[in-house]
């Protein structure tokens, strides 16, 4: 019995699975290979030459994609006083303090990103064991612990993507939708890869970009030439 359906196999045959493509050609193949009726997410998987067990080789940051992610992001903000009003005006979906903490303790997690002002981190810490495993804990390194709520909310709503390298040295992220078209997806991918390349740890030796693959939700993956990609984004 085949593992994949006829449409998948037909599209897969159009891609040389042994080849490594340039970014623009890879995106064209990816878009042309979409065969489902819904708007698929485009993902990137990057294998890095780092050892995340060492703190100085942890690659973690965020990037605002020029054309967004195509996904509506629900933002929860922990703030009080004037900052609570600022968050609401900036478009936050949920704003509060202890009331939200209690709601989350009861099992509510219907939000995608969490932001907090520095003076609220003591309150947020009460639910760190809930938010942490879900990658929802506000983090100063990602800009989500800040008094500049208007700016961070705007960035998140417009397509800010957080990422971190996994234990296996791989970074996964969604970088848009098939409906964006090849040109916009290429620009999103270039922005994402550029950020990752800029974050190369000085202690990482040897080849940094080991392998890079892009894929759609249901479609076959397309391998990129990591050396050509690194040169392209520079």
Please tell me whether residues 96 and 133 are part of one structural domain.
yes
Q: What is the mean pLDDT of residues 90-106?
A: 96
4 is a domain residue: no
Please tell me whether residues 103 and 84 are part of one structural domain.
yes
Please tell me whether residues 116 and 54 are part of one structural domain.
no
Q: How many domains does the chain have?
A: 2
State the pLDDT confidence band at 202, using cuts at 50, 70 and 90. very high
79 is a domain residue: yes
Please tell me whether residues 117 and 139 are part of one structural domain.
yes
Q: Domain range holding 146?
A: 75-157
Looking at residue 1, what is its pLDDT? 41
Please tell me whether residues 108 and 167 are part of one structural domain.
no
Q: What is the mean pLDDT of residues 203-212?
A: 93
> Domain holding 134: CATH number?
3.40.50.790
Q: pLDDT tens for residues 104-143?
A: 999 999 999 999 999 999 999 999 999 999 989 999 988 9
The mean pLDDT value of the chain amounts to 91
User: What would the 3-class secondary structure string for the chain be?
Assistant: CCCCCHHHHHHHHCCCCCCCECHHHHHHHHHHCCCCCCCCEEEEEEEECCCCCCHHHCCEEEEECCCCCCCCCCEEEECCCHHHHHHHHHCCCEEECHHHHHHHHCCCCCCCEEEECHHHHHHHHHHHHHHHHHCCCCCHHHCCECCCHHHHHHHHHHCEEEEECCCCCEEEEEEEEHHHCHHHHHHHHHHHHHHHHHCCCCCCCCCCEEEEEEEECCCCCEEECHHHHHHHHC
Q: pLDDT tens for residues 12-44?
A: 566 677 789 999 999 998 888 777 889 999 999
8 is a domain residue: no
198 is a domain residue: yes
Q: What is the mean pLDDT of residues 153-170?
A: 93
> Domain holding 207: CATH number?
3.30.190.20
78/95 Cα distance (integer angstroms): 6
State the pLDDT confidence band at 65, using cuts at 50, 70 and 90. very high
2 is a domain residue: no
Which of the pair, 12 or 54, is modelled with greater confidence? Answer: 54
Please tell me whether residues 87 and 152 are part of one structural domain.
yes
Please tell me whether residues 121 and 53 are part of one structural domain.
no
10 is a domain residue: no
């Amino acid at each position: 019995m085949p593992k994949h359906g006829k449409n998948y196999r037909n599209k897969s045959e159009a891609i040389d699975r042994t080849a490594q493509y340039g970014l623009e050609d890879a995106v064209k193949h990816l878009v042309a290979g979409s065969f489902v009726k819904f708007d698929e997410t485009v993902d990137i998987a990057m294998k890095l030459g780092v050892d995340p067990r060492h703190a100085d080789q942890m690659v973690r940051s965020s990037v605002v994609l020029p054309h967004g992610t195509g996904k509506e992001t629900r933002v929860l903000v922990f703030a009080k006083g004037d900052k609570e009003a600022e968050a609401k005006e900036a478009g936050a979906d949920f704003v509060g303090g202890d009331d939200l903490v209690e709601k989350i303790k009861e099992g509510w997690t219907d939000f995608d990103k969490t932001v907090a002002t520095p003076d609220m981190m003591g309150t947020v810490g009460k639910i760190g064991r809930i938010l942490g495993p879900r990658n929802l804990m506000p983090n100063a390194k990602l800009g989500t612990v800040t008094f500049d709520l208007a700016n961070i909310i705007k960035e998140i709503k417009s397509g800010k993507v957080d990422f971190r390298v996994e234990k296996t040295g791989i970074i996964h992220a969604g970088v848009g939708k098939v409906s964006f078209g090849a040109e916009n997806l290429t620009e999103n991918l270039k922005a994402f890869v550029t950020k990752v390349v800029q974050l190369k740890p000085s202690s990482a030796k040897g080849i940094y970009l080991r392998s890079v693959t892009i894929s759609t939700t249901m479609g076959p993956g397309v391998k990129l030439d990591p050396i050509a990609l690194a040169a392209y984004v520079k």
